[in-house]
Every structure is written in C-alpha cells, then in structure tokens.
Amino acid sequence: MKTTDSPTVVTVATDLQDERLQARDGLRGAVAALLDRARSGDLGMVPVAVGLVVIWTVLQILNPVFLSSANLVNLTMESVPVGVMALGIVCVLLVGQIDLSVGSVSGLSAAVLAVLFIGQDLPVWGAILAALLVGVVVGWLYSQIFNRFGVPSFVITLAGLLGFLGMQLYVLGTKGSINLPFDSGLVNFAQLAFVPPWLSYVFVVVAAGVLFVSGFLHARERRTAGLSARSLPVLVTRSAALLVGLGLVVWYLNQTRGVGWMFVLFVALVLIMHYLLSRTKWGKAVYAVGGNTEAARRAGINVKAVYSSVFVLCSTFAAVGGVLAAARLAAANQSSGTGDVNLNAIAAAVIGGTSLFGGRGSAFGALLGMIVIQSISSGLTLLNLDSSIRFAVTGAVLLLAVIVDSVSRRSRTSHGRA
Amino acid sequence: MLSLRGIGKTFGAVAALTDIDLDVAAGQVVAVVGDNGAGKSTLVKILSGVHRPDSGAITFESRVVDIPTPAAAHRLGIATVFQDLALCENLNVVENLFLGQELRPLRLNTVAMETRSWELLRRLSAKIPTVRVPVAALSGGQRQTVAIARSLLGNPKIIILDEPTAALGVAQTAEVLNLVERLRENGLGVIMITHNMADVKAVADVVAVLRLGRNNGLFDVKDVSTDDIVAAITGARDNVVAQRAARRGEAGNVAAEEGLPS
C-alpha cells in the first residue's frame, strides 16, 4: 500500500491520507520517528538503556570481575524475586496508586511457605499455593479498604508494611528462621536449575521467530484493511536484532552456568504482563484509569474493579517474589522482605520508565529497571562496599530516575504528547 | 422517546434541579438553554448516570428506567459528550474511541478498531492527521470531534451534547451543526446544551429554558424570537441583553442580536 512500491499505484493507506503527514517509509522512517519521539520527551526505554551502559562501564572499570559471565549469571538469578515484585508495582503505578508493602507481604508469604512446608509437612505445592493465597487475600483487603473508604493507597499500604511485618514475625514464632531443605524441588529450582545450552538457543530462535511471524501477520492484516503497516525490511531487521542481541546474551551466560529457569520464569511473567497490559481490554482500562479516572468511569469502565484487580495482582506478585526469595535463600527468616526490598521493587519500576503520575509504563520496564538495581547492588557488593553506601547509591539512582520521569513529563506536555 | 417528569436534585442545601420536565422524541433536536447555574450540567449528569435524581421519573421508550451508572446509560442507548470531553490524554485516538467497548477483549482487534475509527472520523469530516497519537497531541476542536465520534460508536438512540461548539472554530462549528442535523435525519434524539443562540436557531426543533433549576418555558424554534428565549433565560423582559440591544439601536445600529456572545 506504499506509493513507493510501484510508481503506478496511487492508493494511499487510510491512515496516511492527511496531506499534513510526513511520509515515513521503511527503515529510515522508523529510525526518524524514533529520534523524533526521543526529542519530544517520549523517551521510553532509552534512559534506562543508557543508564545501564554507564553503570556497567563504571563498575567494570572498578572491578574487572563485574562483567564476567559467572557474575552476570548470578545477577540474573538474584534479580528475579524483587523483579517479580517490581512487576506488580508497575501495575499499581499505572493506575496512579502505590504499594509500599510488597516487601512485608513477600516476607509474610515466605514465612507461611516455610512454616507450612517444614513445620506442618505439607507438600511443597500446597505450601506455595497457600503462600500465594496470602498475597491474594492481602491485595483483596487493600482494594476493599481503598474502594469502600477511599483511604489513599499510600496510607493503606504503609499500614500494611508494618502490619504484615508483624504477622510475619508472629508466623515464624520464636525460632525466627526456618531453613528449607536443599534437596527440595523449590530450592533446586531457584539455585541449581539451569536451561541446557541447546534449549536456551532454541528459546532465542523461537523468540525471534515469534516476533517476526506475529509482526508479519499483523502487517498483512493491516494492509488487507487498507492501513499502513511496517514494511518487511523493518520486520526482518527487528527480528534479526533480537536474534543477535538475545543470542549474544545467552551465549555469554552459557559460558558458565547459563540461563536459570527462575530467570526464564521471570521473563515469562514479564511477557504475560506485557500482553495483558497492551493487548487486552483490561490493560487499556488500567492505562485509562491512570490517565484520567473520571474519563474511564464515564466510559463505562468499572474503575473499582480495575483497582481491585491491580491491588490483588501486585500483592500476589509480592507473594510470588517472597516464595522465590525464600527458595533462593533456602530459608525464611525475620529479615525476609525487609530492608531495601520494598524500595528496590519500587525503584526498579520507576527506573524502568513507569511514571509515578500514573498512566505510563510497561512490563518490560520492570525487567530493565531490576537489572539496573541489581547491577548496582552486585557491583557495590563486589567492591566490598558496605550496605550503607549501597543504600545511598540506590537512593541516588532512584532520585535520578524520578527526575528524568518528571522532566520528560514536562517536555512531553510542551510537545503535545501525553 | 425519552421523557423526564418532576426531576429534582439537591446538593446539600442547594436545590440544583426542582421539578424538571423534558421530552425528547426520535428525530428531534432539543436545545436546553439557561444561564450559568441554571442546572444544565446537573441535568446532563443525571441522564448520563453520573448523578442519580432525588425525585422524579425517567421514562425511556415508554419504560420507567433507572440510570445508576454511566454504563447503564450506555446500555440504554443514551450517549453523552461532556463539556470536558472526558478523554484519556495518555491514550491514542483509537484507544479513546473504543475505551470501555474494545473489540475482542482478550486479544484486541486493533486493525478493526482503527478501520472503524477512520470510518467514524471521515463521517464527521474530521481533520485529524493520524489516529495513533495520544490525545494530548490534539487541538481542542480535534478532541471535540473525537468525543463526538466516540458517542456514536455504540449506535445510541439519544445523544446529549454538552456545549458542543463552545471550543470550536467557525468551520468546525458548522461541521458539528451539520452532524447534529445528520443525527436527526437518522432518527436519533439529540439534547444539545448550549449558550449559543445562533446554534439554537440553526438546528434545534424545540428550546427548553432552565432558570435557577426550574423549567422556565418550552418553545418551538420556528415561532420564537431570540428575544423571547433570552427573556426566559434571564427571567425578565427588561434584561441586560435587551438593554444593550436597545442602546445600540438608539446609536443607529440595526442590532440583530442573533449570535449572542456566550
């Protein structure tokens, strides 16, 4: 449907008929559009990517071990529990709310898991299910308080932060720490289960293939409907870039232990959330509520149900994170989910480009933001720096991310982008 | 098709609406006019399910109905274009048009939605270059068009336009008035809240005047003068508008006060 395809065709796609539109064809057009968006403050993932490169460069100079395959494998594994929590935070931030209690909820779910699995001798799946149920119940409780009494989520979850920490300590009882056996499937999954190298490459090829096929089918559907669509070179380039990029990462990780199944689970969750947020009615409702609650309500969206779903989802992700953290540590103790877990999860979401003002952000942001946070943490640990400095640096990075968010928001407003 | 009887609504000690009657037939354009604070917006909100009336009955297609939520209004077939447009600035045009009524909820049919959006916008001869930009990037008139297009999506029977031309340029106003006429030809009932007497004279069949939350006259547009409407709005024959007109008349101007500044 492009006029450039052949000189005789003069039909223009339905969406490109306005004479004010500048023609942007093929690869060059795609790049130009990208630059244009960045200039007007619609930065997307660019600041995170740049930040990551800077952080990695600095840390590599300070300690040559940092970018070693072994350390990166460790980094991917360590990032999963809090990353899953960050995924929940992204959803809550998208509707313009906040959850400050993910750490406590994860600690409580870890405690429940350990007590049921070790103390009560429940089968591991039963204990996991119960731990996840804790998350669902907590989220439901939050949403009821929020919807019925209109208490700000900030306050509800601040109360939850303290309340569920108390409950965690109560559940753990006098022992204070419960070890999970190393031979259990759960601990094995979090520590020793790695994807065989051949399978990891299969994953990469499948990912690139799926990206290409879905893009191709979508483009064909659009052309049939008389709309403009991505050209074949763009689709091929995109898939090839993914193939090479992901392939390199996997190859490098495979130099030592490889890609952990737990990390695969994280990526799968990110992909699922990305689909839910961008391709379903529920996802559009989430963005709408975050962008203009009143407009969403008038459009017939059940705003309370959206809030409920998001709070439940966030707390459930927190519980999943708690289970994974306990599995990774092979223990649940009084400090599970305390300390910087909360703020790391929120920082990861914000660094990943999710706006604190609601209505902007993506699931991939949680993944990228978490890698940034974990890189800092891992790098500073390698340097034998004390946790005091780690806290300070993480805080500074979070502040920087929020500043970038605020500034780009202002720039977007002045350039007429939401 | 739609009739209100004895609608009342109070906010605290303020009676925003008292004993309001209003009728809209299919294929009829009813202009609701009134000064600021006359209760026009409250009336719109009651019909669109934002507020519930304290008293009175709403009859729609000869059934007494209750409109507790915006979704209920939508199901009945009452679509509202609010003055503040109620668009989500972070979503693009297609997403705004289909908000709350997306096609294929579990795997959005973006292609069909975009095609349908273009159809709607073309029908309104909308001047929107691309539908894949966030609404924040659009001008006031373009946003108005998006909002009206959205109200048409569910094939409503009644459309309520709250000051549809207030923010529009000359050509766009004419477009909207054309559109209102087209809606009437299609057998829809239109309730148009407005300040603009020119618009009233141009497209409305009937004018209902509200004053301080009460009915203050129902006129047939064919046989009513702007003077009469203004008198009903202000509640007095000798009002500030008439005085101005008289002054200008004395000064030698043949003042036709159609198209009052609003």
Chain A CB contacts of B135 under 8 Å are 418
Task: Given CATH 2.30.30.180, say whether it is the number of domain B1-77+156-171+185-236.
Answer: no
- pLDDT of residue A416 exceeding 80, the answer is no
- pLDDT of residue A363 exceeding 50, the answer is yes
Confidence at residue A4, expressed as pLDDT on a 0 to 100 scale: 42
Confidence at residue A241, expressed as pLDDT on a 0 to 100 scale: 95
Contact: A299, B111; criterion CB under 8 Å: no
Contact: A222, B111; criterion CB under 8 Å: yes
**Burial of residue B37 (number of CB atoms within 10 Å: 0-12, 13-18, 19+):** middle
**Pair type for strands B2-11 and B189-193:** unpaired
The edge-to-edge listing of strands for the beta sheet with B55-60 is B14-24, B2-11, B55-60, B63-65
**Count of alpha carbons within 13 Å of B134, Cβ hemisphere only?**
19
Locate B126 and state its tokens. 């909308």
Residue A274 touches chain B, beta carbons under 8 Å: no
Contact: A21, B87; criterion CB under 8 Å: no
Nearest to B70 among A218, A300, A359 (CB): A300
Nearest CA in chain B to A224: B111
- pLDDT of residue A29 exceeding 80, the answer is no
Q: Which of A29-38, A394-403, B53-62, B63-72 has the lowest mean pLDDT?
A: A29-38
High-pLDDT (> 70) share of chain A, %: 93
Rounded Cα gap, residues B213 and B18, in angstroms: 6
Residue A227 touches chain B, beta carbons under 8 Å: yes
Chain A CB contacts of B82 under 8 Å are 298
Confidence at residue A299, expressed as pLDDT on a 0 to 100 scale: 83
**What are the pLDDT digits (tens) for A58-106?**
999 999 999 999 999 999 999 999 999 999 999 999 999 999 999 999 9
Q: How confident is the model at residue A385 (pLDDT cuts 50, 70, 90)?
A: confident
ipTM of the complex: 0.86
Rounded Cα gap, residues A23 and B215, in angstroms: 55
**What are the pLDDT digits (tens) for A264-281?**
999 999 999 999 999 999
Confidence at residue A41, expressed as pLDDT on a 0 to 100 scale: 61
Residue B102 touches chain A, beta carbons under 8 Å: yes
Q: Residues of chain B whose pLDDT is less than 70? A: 125, 250-262
Residue A280 touches chain B, beta carbons under 8 Å: yes
Confidence at residue A22, expressed as pLDDT on a 0 to 100 scale: 67
Chain B CB contacts of A33 under 8 Å are none
**Pair type for strands B63-65 and B78-81:** unpaired
Segment A110-116 shows an average pLDDT of 95
- pLDDT of residue A107 exceeding 50, the answer is yes
Q: How confident is the model at residue A211 (pLDDT cuts 50, 70, 90)?
A: very high
Nearest CA in chain B to A223: B111
Rounded Cα gap, residues B17 and B52, in angstroms: 12
Residue B135 touches chain A, beta carbons under 8 Å: yes
Between helix A303-329 and helix A102-114 the angle, nearest 10°, is 50
The CA distance from A20 to the nearest CA of chain B, in Å, is: 7
Contact: A418, B114; criterion CB under 8 Å: no
Segments making up each domain of chain B, as ranges: 1-77+156-171+185-236, 91-155
The CA distance from B155 to the nearest CA of chain A, in Å, is: 15
The CA distance from B105 to the nearest CA of chain A, in Å, is: 5
Confidence at residue A5, expressed as pLDDT on a 0 to 100 scale: 42
Confidence at residue A155, expressed as pLDDT on a 0 to 100 scale: 96
Q: Can you name the CATH fold of A45-193+260-409?
A: ABC transporter involved in vitamin B12 uptake, BtuC (1.10.3470)
Residue reference for tokens 């959005």: B108
Higher pLDDT, B119 or A316: A316
Residue A296 touches chain B, beta carbons under 8 Å: yes
Nearest CA in chain B to A18: B129
Q: Which of A5-9, A285-289, B9-13, B164-168 has the lowest mean pLDDT?
A: A5-9
| Cα–Cα distances in angstroms (integers) from residue B172 to residues B167, B198, B207, in the given order | 9, 14, 23
Confidence at residue A317, expressed as pLDDT on a 0 to 100 scale: 98
Confidence at residue A323, expressed as pLDDT on a 0 to 100 scale: 96
Residue A300 touches chain B, beta carbons under 8 Å: yes
Q: Which of A5-14, A153-162, A204-213, B136-145 has the lowest mean pLDDT?
A: A5-14
Rounded Cα gap, residues B228 and B233, in angstroms: 9
How many residue pairs bridge chain A and chain B with CB atoms within 8 Å of each other?
113
Nearest to B100 among A14, A294, A301 (CB): A301
- pLDDT of residue A25 exceeding 80, the answer is no
Nearest CA in chain B to A17: B129
Confidence at residue A3, expressed as pLDDT on a 0 to 100 scale: 41
Q: How confident is the model at residue A26 (pLDDT cuts 50, 70, 90)?
A: low
High-pLDDT (> 90) share of chain A, %: 66
Confidence at residue B71, expressed as pLDDT on a 0 to 100 scale: 80
Residue B181 touches chain A, beta carbons under 8 Å: no
Confidence at residue B240, expressed as pLDDT on a 0 to 100 scale: 80
Chain A CB contacts of B125 under 8 Å are none
Helix (H, G, I), strand (E, B) or coil at B11: strand
Confidence at residue A8, expressed as pLDDT on a 0 to 100 scale: 41
Task: Compute and round to an integer the Cα radius of gyration of chain B.
Answer: 19
**What are the pLDDT digits (tens) for A142-172?**
999 999 999 999 999 999 999 999 999 999 9
CA-CA-CA-CA torsion sign (B239, B243, B249, B253): negative
Contact: A21, B128; criterion CB under 8 Å: no
Confidence at residue A238, expressed as pLDDT on a 0 to 100 scale: 92
Chain A CB contacts of B139 under 8 Å are none
| DSSP output for B24-39 | E-TT-EEEEEE-TTSS
Contact assessment for residue B26 and residue B183, using Cβ atoms and an 8 Å cutoff:
no
Interface test with A, best of B91, B94, B113, B131 (most A CBs within 10 A): B91
Segment A173-188 shows an average pLDDT of 89
Nearest CA in chain A to B126: A18
Confidence at residue A24, expressed as pLDDT on a 0 to 100 scale: 65
- pLDDT of residue A356 exceeding 90, the answer is no
| DSSP output for B127-164 | --S-TTSBGGGS-HHHHHHHHHHHHHTT--SEEEEEST
Confidence at residue A68, expressed as pLDDT on a 0 to 100 scale: 94
Nearest to B114 among A15, A282, A294 (CB): A15
Chain A CB contacts of B88 under 8 Å are 287-288, 291-292, 295-296, 359
**What are the pLDDT digits (tens) for A317-353?**
999 999 999 999 999 999 999 888 998 999 999 988 8
Locate B25 and state its tokens. 């037939």
Contact: A295, B99; criterion CB under 8 Å: yes
Confidence at residue B182, expressed as pLDDT on a 0 to 100 scale: 78
**Pair type for strands B55-60 and B2-11:** antiparallel
Q: B34 pairs with which residues across the strands? A: B210
Confidence at residue A282, expressed as pLDDT on a 0 to 100 scale: 96
Locate A209 and state its tokens. 């293939």
- pLDDT of residue A250 exceeding 90, the answer is yes
Contact: B99, A416; criterion CB under 8 Å: no
| DSSP output for B81-118 | E-TTTT--TTSBHHHHHTTTS-SSTTS--HHHHHHHHH
Q: What is the mean pLDDT of chain A?
A: 89
Chain A CB contacts of B156 under 8 Å are none
- Residue A21 has phi, psi (to 5 degrees) of -75, 135
Buried/exposed code over B129-145 (b: 16+ C-beta within 10 A; e: otherwise): bebebbbbbbeebbbbb
pTM greater than 0.80: yes
- pLDDT of residue A195 exceeding 80, the answer is yes
Nearest to B114 among A18, A227, A281 (CB): A227
Segments making up each domain of chain A, as ranges: 45-193+260-409, 194-259
Nearest to B108 among A281, A287, A359 (CB): A281
Q: Which of the 8 DSSP states describes residue B205?
A: S
